Amino acid sequence: MPSKQQAIEQQKMRPKISKVEPAAAITGGELHIRGQYLATNGRPTVRLGNQTAHLIVAGESYIIARVPESAMVGELVVATGGQESDLYETHLGVQIADSLHPVANPAVDADGNVYTTFSGPRGQKSPVSIYKIDTNYNTKPFVTDLMNPTGLAFDREGLLYVSSRYDGIVYQITPTGNMTVYVEGMGVATGIAFDKDENLYVGDRSGTIFKISRSRQIYVFATLEPSIAAYHLAFGPDDYLYVTGPTTSSFDAVHRIANSGEVETFYRGLGRPQGLTFDAQDRLYVAASMGGRRGIVRIDASGKADQFLSGPGVVGLAFTPSKAMMVATHNALFRVDVGIAGRPLP
């Protein structure tokens, strides 16, 4: 039995967590844990709730732990030699839908219902094109007769718009799922977004951003380098149109475009940037990798960037009225309760 002095010394060497980065993660994401005495008394164990994480790096002051599939609780503990750290709260994503194929942001209506796609390879028709996931996480087919749905966006009246990269058409969809053609001739139509005057912008991944007025007149708004995947669009608080479109570079940019159509670089240094959106505090979130870490990158108005969420295969995101973040991967949708409000429609 250890003496009182030995017990005091052991207590002093109890694992202490000083920082966990990033703030949020989904299944397969990596959490970087910094602290003291993390492996003093042998190989450590990292638990998220009652689930044990796989350790990639396990050192005295630095651990990298991968989030297991079964983890749903973000209470993180480091244990070693019979001693445990205090709880450290992280935000873990809970999978709410699978067997999907999003290629861009999901869309969220005013009631908190989430819409996402089964996009499929170009030219291949899927049994269901768009799914609706209600606030109880029930997934139901919403649209069935649409080839390669790509970008999604709501207007102020609650109508859903979706681009098809197969036929270059943007469709308008009512809350009951009735679909009509809104505009044609958009090339390889990908990302879409509305401005404050309800003009619609459509990214043709071959190099053009189109602007469509409410009377459906079509203009060439700007031109960019062609993307190997898709353009993704979002309007910022400064009324600039922000655009990502991964190229063959591993050091891609977020561009922003003024009302005049002039293109400038807002931030450079992301790997394969895709879906993007703003929160109510005017911070930009981008599905991308930074420094070799895949997930969601947050960029403030000054251009300072950090990784906000870690996870593989992330293609898009959206905020809900309940201040949760919906994260879309190549085949699933996760809810992460981050307590952050999204930016309202322009």
Whether 212 has a pLDDT exceeding 70, the answer reads yes
CA–CA separation, 328 and 326 (whole Å)? 7
More reliable by pLDDT, 320 or 3: 320
Give residue 38's pLDDT. 95
pLDDT value at 12 more than 70: no
Segments making up each domain of the chain, as ranges: 4-92, 95-336
Q: Residue 134's pLDDT band (boundaries 50, 70, 90)?
A: very high
**What is the per-residue pLDDT for 3?**
52
Beta carbons within 8 Å of 121's beta carbon, 6+ residues apart? none
Q: Is the pLDDT of residue 6 over 80?
A: no
Q: Is the confidence at residue 4, as pLDDT, over 80?
A: no
What pLDDT sits at residue 42?
87
Beta partners for residue 265, in sequence order: 255
pLDDT band for 164, please (50, 70, 90 cuts).
very high
Instruction: Assess contact for 320 and 342: CB atoms under 8 A.
Output: yes
Question: 4-92: what fold?
Answer: Immunoglobulin-like (2.60.40)
User: Domain 95-336: which CATH class?
Assistant: mainly beta
Q: What secondary structure letter does DSSP report for 342?
A: B
Which CA distances in Å does 127 have to 145, 146, 288?
8, 9, 29
Tell me: the pLDDT tens digits for 16-48? 999 999 999 999 999 999 999 999 888 999 999
Query: Does the global pTM surpass 0.85?
Result: yes
The beta strands (E) that lie in 38-129 are given as 45-48, 51-52, 54-58, 62-66, 75-80, 83-84, 88-89, 91-92, 94-98, 107-108, 114-117
Work out the end-to-end distance of the chain between its first and last CA atoms, rounded to an integer number of angstroms.
67
Average pLDDT of the chain is 94
Q: Inform me whether the pLDDT recorded for 162 exceeds 90.
A: yes
- Return the structure tokens found at 220: 């060439």
